[in-house]
Amino acid sequence: MKNVLLISADFPKTYYQFAKAFKKNGCRVLVIGSTTYDQLHPELIANVDEYYQTWEMENINKMYEIVGYFQNKYGPIDFLESNNEYWLQSDAKIREHFGIKSGLYPHELELYQRKSSMKKAFIEAGAHVAPYIIVRDYESLKAFADKYGYPVFAKPDIGVGAHGNYKINNEAELKDFYAKKPLIDYICEPFVQGRVISFDGIANDKSEIVICDNEIFPKEIFNFKSKSIDMFYYVNKKVPNELFLLGKKIIKALGLKNRFFHTELFLAENSVKDSFKIGDIVALEVNIRTPGGFTPDLLNFGLSTNLYQIFADVICFGSSNEYVGQPYFVACASRKHENKYFFSHEDILRTFKNEICNHGEYPEVFSDLMGNYFYMAKFDNEKDVILFRDYVLRRSDTSLDDHKNSPSHLVGEDKRILDERKSKSSFEDGLSICDKHIDGA
């Protein structure tokens, strides 16, 4: 029996499915987490052989102590993983300390965590990349900005998501950035205008793609911390062939094995001389983990499968026979508590009762970027994805005329609801049109 040690399988809460999948494959499942036992998801409790709770997960010596306890009790650990960006370094240190050969060691992580190193693999794969400079001094930084023009984009060379990122629009902002930036390596590039897309999936021990998907994000993704912008993204029904072929080459060039991956790219809407042109796919970075938050569940809805089980199968058997069913477009729209919205929670659940597959509160640690309350819904066509976005995220303090040019064209039931509500002289009665007319209209 394999001894599988899962780090932080208690967070996010849906990660209990990793324990369930490995247990199904006959493994002994051991978990280290910070959640107290009485607060664990029942499915995690049901599929774990032993759970060790500690509030000292950031103390590597404490982690060595706990893993040593497990190893003395159950024998050598065959596989250790968190699938969480925050714990990648810790995972690698523990593997090296105990000689666990099923994953990366600290010296191997740089290629997968340092953006400047990733670019070399992207170029090897034939991908377009933005030119860059590692920020060492102000003079070279200014020369770079002068060469390529403003705006430029600065971000930590090792980092995740939009944390610590700066869009710099002029020389004054450049000086301010340099004066205030944290004392870590920063990479600076010409600002790439366009839509962020992703190529996600699981790679086997030969760096081959076992399963993959494509997420599509809005242009405002780097500004989601703003209260004026709500999070929205969706899973494409099919991975475009050009992206699939490029993604395969990138994963092969990276030599990524037995891991989830989340590769971020741009569909460029501007050009940079000798680098890329409008319409090119520009490789941005790769994350060697599941997509963040509850996105693995969103992907499961879109692919009609169980990625947690596929991952466990690949680790245990090298491949998976897990069923993959009909693909769908699957959208996730989330709201912020401090904003007021045109349609109520009840309106959304009623109007999209046949499409919503999950909804709920994000943990507080996600809310700064992702929002507070999310809705996931799946559709057969992209037009309905946009309609869902417009409906869920429509603010109560915007004019209906603001939406007349919306890509959704306010079709069908949505148009009828809005037309009737617009015809009312006031909304002071506080009763949503949905409450009056959606059912059996």
User: Out of 108-112, 248-252, 253-257, 373-377, which region has the weakest mean confidence (pLDDT)?
Assistant: 108-112
CA 110 to chain CA centroid, Å, is 20
SS3 235: strand
User: Which pLDDT value is given to residue 364?
Assistant: 84
C-alpha–C-alpha distance, residues 417 and 434, integer Å = 7
Q: Where do we find the tokens 């058997």?
A: 317
Residues 6+ apart with CB under 8 A from 369: 161, 162, 224, 225, 231
Architecture of domain 131-190: 2-Layer Sandwich (3.30)
CB 116 within 8 A of CB 157: yes
**Of the candidates 236, 412, 431, the residue with the CA atom closest to the CA atom of residue 346:** 431
- What local confidence, expressed as pLDDT, does residue 421 receive? 39
**In this structure, what DSSP letter does residue 230 have?**
-
Quote the pLDDT of residue 227: 56
Strand partners, 267: 195, 281
> How confident is the model over 344-360, as a mean pLDDT?
94
Which of 87, 164, 161, 90 is closest to 366 using CA atoms?
161
CB neighbour class for 321 (10 Å; exposed up to 12, middle 13-18, buried from 19)? exposed
**Predicted pLDDT at 420:** 44
DSSP E strands, 302-361: 329-335, 356-361
Cβ count within 10 A of residue 309 = 21
Q: Check residue 376 and give its pLDDT.
A: 96
pLDDT greater at residue 405 or residue 151? 151
Residue 400 confidence (pLDDT): 52
* Gap between the Cα atoms of 431 and 438, Å rounded: 13
Q: Provide the mean pLDDT of the chain.
A: 88
Confidence of residue 433 (pLDDT cuts 50, 70, 90): very low
Buried b (16+ CB within 10 A) or exposed e, 205-232: eebebbbbbbbbbbeebbebeeeebbbb
Per-residue model confidence (pLDDT) at position 113: 87
pLDDT bucket at 414, cuts 50 / 70 / 90: low
Sequence-distant (≥ 6) Cβ neighbours of residue 253 within 8 angstroms: 121, 122, 124, 125
Q: Alpha-carbon distance 436 to 441, whole Å?
A: 9
Q: pLDDT at residue 430 above 50? A: no
Residue with tokens 């466990």: 312
User: Residue 376 in contact with residue 330, Cβ under 8 Å?
Assistant: yes
How confident is the model at residue 279, as a pLDDT? 92
- What does residue 172 show for φ and ψ, rounded to 5 degrees? -60, -45
Tokens 């904003």 found at:
339
Q: What is the pLDDT of residue 416?
A: 53
Instruction: Record the tokens describing residue 255, joined without a space.
Output: 């030599």
Residue 403 pLDDT exceeds 60: no
Integer Rg of the chain from CA: 23
CA distance 393 to 128: 34
Where in the chain are the domains?
A: 3-108, 131-190, 195-218+228-240+249-397
Share of the chain above pLDDT 90, in %: 73
Whether the per-residue pLDDT at 162 is higher than 60: the answer is: no
Question: How many other CB atoms are there within 10 angstroms of residue 394's CB atom?
Answer: 18
For residue range 285-321, list pLDDT tens digits in order: 999 999 988 999 999 999 999 999 999 999 999 999 9
Q: Selecting from 3.40.50.10470, 2.40.50.140, 3.30.470.20, 3.60.40.10, what CATH number does the domain 195-218+228-240+249-397 have?
A: 3.30.470.20
Q: What is the pLDDT of residue 436?
A: 30
Summarize the confidence of residues 224-243 as an average pLDDT.
85
Assess contact for 115 and 157: CB atoms under 8 A. yes
Q: What is the mean pLDDT of residues 199-204?
A: 98
pLDDT for res 165: 84
**Nearest-angstrom CA–CA distance, 202 and 247:** 12
CA distance 127 to 392: 36
The answer to whether residues 264 and 192 touch, using CB atoms and an 8 Å cutoff, is: no
pLDDT digits (tens, 9 = 90+) for 60-82: 999 999 999 999 999 999 999 99
Higher-pLDDT residue of 406 and 283 is 283
Q: What is the pLDDT of residue 401?
A: 53
- Stated as kind and residue range, the H or E segment containing 268 is strand 259-268
pLDDT at res. 248: 97
Q: Which run of H or E residues covers position 249?
A: helix 241-254
Q: How far apart are CA 32 and CA 52, in angstroms?
A: 5
With CA atoms as reference, report the closest residue to 414 among 355, 357, 367. 355
Greater pLDDT, 141 or 414: 141
Higher pLDDT, 225 or 320: 320
pLDDT tens digit sequence for 235-291: 999 999 999 999 999 999 999 999 999 999 999 998 888 899 999 999 999 999 999
Q: Is 379's pLDDT higher than 90? A: yes
Ranked by mean pLDDT, the top range of 40-54, 170-184, 427-441 is 40-54
**Quick one: pLDDT at residue 406?**
47
Q: Are 433 and 423 in contact (CB under 8 A)?
A: no
Longest dimension (CA), the chain: 74
Q: Greater confidence, 218 or 314?
A: 314
The CATH topology of domain 3-108 is: Rossmann fold (3.40.50)
State the pLDDT at residue 427. 34
